[in-house]
Amino acid sequence: MSGELSPIDKAKFVAAKRAAEFVESGMRVGLGTGSTAAWLVRCLGERVREEGLRFRGVPTSARTADLAREVGIEVISLDEARWLDLTIDGADEFDANLSLIKGGGGALLQEKIVATASDQMVVIADAAKEVETLGAFPLPVEVIPFGWPTSQALVEETLVSMDVMGRSATLRMNGERPYVTDEGNHILDLHLGRIGNPRQLAMVLNQIPGVVENGLFIDICDQVVIGYSDGRVETRDINEGTVSEERLDFVEDNNLFRDI
């Protein structure tokens, strides 16, 4: 079955498979949102079924919660957990400092809250997500629906004084209607091309009226697990300054791959 996966899905799978090994029984674990995080949830579900792993998961979106329950993971809210041992999530981009752009899946607000309520955050990604400078991927900014065109205008005006290449913002759509987050908000995607100072931009954006949160994750990620299509997995720890590499074998599993 694994032979039917595309190279990019193989890379996502091995990264998720390796990161799933970080979870131990008794932990409270944040579960990210997106295609790579979905692989993680499936891998953890396999460990629940095959190894008897018992932990409580705090999902960062309704769709992650649905998938987690489907594969047998106990789901609780962040209010119930209060604090987490670990959060594992994907990223749309990451750089050498493990600064991230997240929010392509529309769950950046819950993802950032959960990640910052954790002892550690581990990012899982395929190698294509690594960039020298953040910004090629559109930066999501969550805004309240009331007066969103005004918020958009204020954001674009603010970008004039920022170290970025592009300055346009577009409202994310879901068909003919604006995309709506789990919190009932909208998302502006900022087409910046390059972000020269992510820390400054993150702070400035959150001062704009109507902006709830932005998709720049600065000083939040502790480790990144990078998957490659040939089964190699590289793990970088920003705190320890270590890099390790190993190779995982693809094992056919009809349950794990049934939705692919």
What residues form the annotated binding site for substrate?
Answer: 33-36, 89-92, 102-105, 129
Distance CA 143, CA 149 (A): 10
- 213 carries an active-site annotation: no
Q: For residue 17, give both structure tokens.
A: 């498979």
Measured distance between the N- and C-terminal CA atoms of the chain, rounded to whole angstroms: 9
Residue where the block lists tokens 């995080």: 37
Length in residues, the chain: 260
Query: One of 21, 50, 74, 111 is an active-site residue; which one?
Result: 111
Query: Angle, to 10 degrees, between the axis of helix 35-51 and the axis of helix 7-20?
Result: 50
112 touches 141 (CB < 8 A): no
Instruction: Name the DSSP letter for residue 84.
Output: B
195 touches 211 (CB < 8 A): no
Report the binding-site residues.
Answer: 33-36, 89-92, 102-105, 129
DSSP class per residue in 169-222? EEE-EETTEE---TTS-EEEEEE-S-BS-HHHHHHHHTTSTTEEEESEE-S---
- Residue 79, class by beta-carbon neighbours within 10 Å (0-12 exposed, 13-18 middle, 19+ buried)? exposed
User: Mind telling me the catalytic residues?
Assistant: 111
